[in-house]
Amino acid sequence: MTPAVDNLWSAWRSEYVLGDRPDGCPLCWNQARGDEDAFIVARGENVYAMLNLFPYNPGHIMVMPKRHIGSFEQLTLEESAEAQRFLERSIRALRRSMRGGPHGFNIGLNLGSAAGAGIPEHLHWQLVPRWDGDTNFMPTLADVKVVPQRMQATWQHLHEAWQDDDEGTDRDGV
């Protein structure tokens, strides 16, 4: 007798996986979409921040240059400085908008496919909020990550927190 299998449904993902998308870099063509449709949290002069469509945790943000570049050495000083400010503002927005506030953060930049970059041709930082105990048996035993918040709700909270940010005049944390 075969043991019963529990299903985890995430039907909203089929729209992304099967949806019509232009050819080319998804981080480039995504910029032309509306902020809410593309889950873009904020846009700057040289960079923008958006929710990762396949998040490790709720609030998983990517920060990237608007320019299509795949190498860290290609960043201009302006792009580099603005990306750093966007990462700082994203952390503040996550602390304010996520219930209980994250207990920590992972910030990563995978350069090239050998380093784990999912889109190696367009440089992007990953910012993942973390909570004590946020890992459990699901990723370990079932190779499944349960994300307990809808993307639309996460975007709404972060978008509002970003708009309320004072551009970092309070450098002591929140």
Order of strands across the sheet that contains 104-109: 40-43, 47-51, 61-65, 125-130, 104-109
Task: Tell me the mean pLDDT per 10 residues along the chain, length 174.
Answer: 57 61 83 93 97 88 96 96 97 91 92 87 94 66 64 85 70 44
Alpha carbon distances (Å) from 18 to 12, 21, 87, 119, 155: 11, 9, 31, 18, 22
pLDDT of residue 90: 96
State the pLDDT at residue 152.
Answer: 85
CA torsion angle 84 91 12 160 (round to 10): -100
Which residues does the annotation mark as catalytic? 124
- What's the confidence (pLDDT) of residue 172? 45
Q: What is the pLDDT of residue 173?
A: 46
pLDDT at 94 (0 to 100): 95
Q: Helices 151-164 and 77-97 sit at what angle, rounded to 10 degrees?
A: 110
pLDDT (0 to 100) of residue 174: 40
Q: How far apart are the first and last CA of the chain?
A: 55
Partners of residue 78 on adjacent β-strands: none
Decide: pTM greater than 0.85: no
CB within 8 Å of 90: residues ≥ 6 apart: 41, 49, 61, 63, 127, 158, 162
